[in-house]
Amino acid sequence: MRRIQYRLLTIIIFIGVIGMITPIIYTKSLALNQAKDTIVEKLRSHSKIFILYSNSSEKDTFQKMTEEYSIASKLRVTLIATDGTVIGESSLPIHQLSQMDNHLSRPEIIDAKDEEEGYASRYSNTLKTEFIYFAKQVDQNQFGFKYIRVAQSLKSVENLASKYREFYYLIIAFIIFVIIMAWFLLKSWLTDPILELTKAASDISQGDLKRRVAIRTGVIEIDELADNMNKMTIALERGYTGIKRMEKVRSEFLGNVTHELKTPISSISGYIETLLEGALNDESVNVGFLERSLENAHRLEELVTDLVEISRIETGELKMNFEYFNVFDILKNLTKDAKQRNSNKKIKIDLDTPDKRLFIYGDKNRLDQVIANLLSNALRYTDEGYIKVKVSRRDNEIVFSIIDTGIGITPKALKRIFERFYRTDKARDRQKGGTGLGLSIAKHIIEAHGSKIFVDTVEGKGSTFSFGVTTINPEQ
């Protein structure tokens, strides 16, 4: 595995090198070939001119002819006989001619022998420079030589090549500049942001959910990736906080449940133990102990029922059964029950309703349960005065208010009475039962009806709990 930046660099350099080499190779070979072609063409003309010149020349030796023509044309001229001996050479003094090797094996002469003319370029050992040679075959009988060869040194072409070289350096410098630029741009657009994203991902995977990616490259894909990564982290953070909170709520709930269950269970076992240890035969206490055990058993039953109810509501297991019905009879029965339970208290209990046609759309049993609960709270926390179930119409709602002249609720407690297991100390002191779950169940049920419970209370004066239920039947 290699880092993306090095891979990109390799690709850029590869492209750059190809970009450099291609024009160099191409222009170099093209330019040199063109220059050579021009020289070959020039040499061909000169060979023809030399033939004309040799015909009309009054010079007596071949060597003189080559020297003279060479001075005029600035070319090297060689005359070769059929057997390959050099009989005239403009670049050497006459006495050295005999030392020259046989020229029949020179490539341009081989070609000239077969195809009338031929050319070649090579390094001349005699003159220590690169030459282009052009040879032409003529009639030995007519001219006294078999091959005329003219040659030009490649110095001029080399000059041309050096000019091209300057141009190549320019191209190379330019391409290197482009490579560096491309590298920096790629680095800031791609590799640096990817590096930052990778670092952030690694931080997040190690639990740093506060980590955010702060990059803005202007490259859509990268910026979107960064945005989405931030969104993902925010979602993770929220989910994590939610889970933490739920865990806390759950463990608190469990703590409360155990605490609430423990009290009645330990009193029941206390009474039974005392009875078994002899109190069973003491007629002054045995019935009383049994009655208190039964009270605690009832309390346990009440607690367990409420617990089952609230856990069903919270897991969404509890389904509401909505129907359109007249709530009047329910209200009437509930107030009647309350009056019976209140028989030994000096509290006036009333039902105050505009008429008997109180049709609403809701879950009959659940609403019965809510009103019963609010009524039993009112009874539990009221010592004198009155309790009133007041019904009124408002827009498309029937509003139920359970009003009492009881102990009221402090502003501090008011914020918490809908919490599970929350009970004020005063409520605990009253020893009149209650699980601390009633209001939180009621709140859930009313919310499932798309409504809310409102509390209006003055400490020491009384409380009013109210909520509205729709009169519109959506099934019609």
Q: Which of 88, 118, 362, 438 binds ligand ADP (CB under 6 A)?
A: 438
- The verdict on 417 binding ligand ADP (CB under 6 A) reads yes
Q: Which stretch binds ligand ADP (CB under 6 A): 22-30, 69-77, 216-224, 437-445?
A: 437-445
Quick check: 264 binds ligand ADP (CB under 6 A)?
no
The rounded distance, in Å, linking the Cα atoms of 261 and 421 is 12
Q: In terms of CB distance, is 230 or 466 closer to ligand ADP?
A: 466
- Residue number with CB closer to ligand ADP (152 or 377): 377
Token pair listed for 146: 């078999």
Q: Is 77 helix (H, G, I), strand (E, B) or coil?
A: strand
Count of residues touching ligand ADP (by CB under 6 A): 21
Least distance to ligand ADP from the beta carbon of 435, Å?
A: 5
How far is CA 4 from each of CA 111, 186, 187, 189, 342, rounded to the nearest angstrom? 58, 10, 10, 13, 83
Query: Taking CB under 6 A as the rule, does residue 446 contact ligand ADP?
Result: no
Q: Is 406 in the site for ligand ADP (CB under 6 A)?
A: yes
- Taking CB under 6 A as the rule, does residue 435 contact ligand ADP? yes
Q: Between 362 and 434, name the residue whose CB sits nearer to ligand ADP.
A: 434
- Judged by CB under 6 A, the stretch of 15-23, 32-40, 128-136, 403-411 that binds ligand ADP is 403-411
CA dihedral 381, 383, 386, 388 (to 10 degrees): 20
> Taking the C-alpha atoms of 124, 129, 134 and 136 in order, what is their torsion angle to the nearest 10 degrees?
-40
Interface with ligand ADP (CB under 6 A), residue from 35, 77, 92, 439: 439
CA angle 322, 328, 333 (to 5 degrees): 105
| Tokens describing residue 346 | 């000096």
Residue 48 to residue 139: CA distance in whole angstroms: 13
**Residue of the chain from 349, 409, 445, 453 that contacts ligand ADP (CB under 6 A):** 409
**CB contact set of 71 (below 8 Å; sequence gap of 6+):** none
Residues between 194 and 223 that touch ligand ADP (CB under 6 A): none
Closest distance of CB 283 from ligand ADP, Å: 35
Binding status of residue 467 toward ligand ADP by CB under 6 A: no
| Binders of ligand ADP in range 292-321 (CB under 6 A) | none
Which 322-381 residues touch ligand ADP, going by CB under 6 A?
Answer: 377-378, 381
Looking at 6-14, 162-170, 329-337, 434-442, which segment touches ligand ADP (CB under 6 A)?
A: 434-442
Among 12, 124, 422, 466, binds ligand ADP (CB under 6 A): 422
Is residue 436 a contact point for ligand ADP (CB under 6 A)?
A: yes
Query: CB of 408: closest distance to ligand ADP in angstroms?
Result: 6
Minimum gap (Å) between residue 253 Cβ and ligand ADP: 14
- Of residues 16 and 436, the one with the C-beta less far from ligand ADP: 436
Verify binding: residue 226, ligand ADP, rule CB under 6 A. Answer: no
Determine which residue in the list 81, 226, 407, 469 makes contact with ligand ADP, applying CB under 6 A: 407
Mapped to the 3 state alphabet, what secondary structure does 385-435 carry?
Answer: EEEEEEEEEECCEEEEEEEECCCCCCHHHHCCCCCCCCCCHHHHHCCCCCC
Pick the closer one to ligand ADP by CB: 87 or 374. Answer: 374
CB-based contacts of 319: which residues, under 8 Å, 6+ apart? none
Of 66, 434, 453, 467, which one interacts with ligand ADP (CB under 6 A)? Answer: 434
Closest to ligand ADP by CB, 239 or 255: 255
d(CA 156, CA 168): 19
- 363 has which bridge partners? 322
463 binds ligand ADP (CB under 6 A): yes
Ramachandran class of 95: left when φ > 0, alpha when ψ lies in -120 to 50, beta otherwise: alpha
The per-residue DSSP string of 187-212 comes to IIIIIHHHHHHHHHHHHHHTT-TT--
Distances (CA, A) of 233 to 198, 217, 360: 14, 20, 46
| Strand intervals (E) in 272-353 | 322-326, 347-352
424 binds ligand ADP (CB under 6 A): yes
CA distance 310 to 317: 10
In angstroms, the CA 120 to CA 295 distance is 127
Contact status: 405 vs ligand ADP (CB under 6 A) = no
If the CB atoms of residues 121 and 382 are measured against ligand ADP, the closer one turns out to be: 382
Question: Could you say whether residue 404 binds ligand ADP (CB under 6 A)?
Answer: yes
Q: Under the criterion CB under 6 A, does residue 427 sit at the interface with ligand ADP? A: yes
Closest CB to ligand ADP among 423 and 449? 423
Q: Give the position of tokens 């939180």.
A: 440
> Strands 385-394, 76-80: parallel, antiparallel or unpaired by DSSP?
unpaired
By CB under 6 A, name the binding residues for ligand ADP.
Answer: 377-378, 381, 404, 406-409, 417, 422-424, 427, 434-440, 463
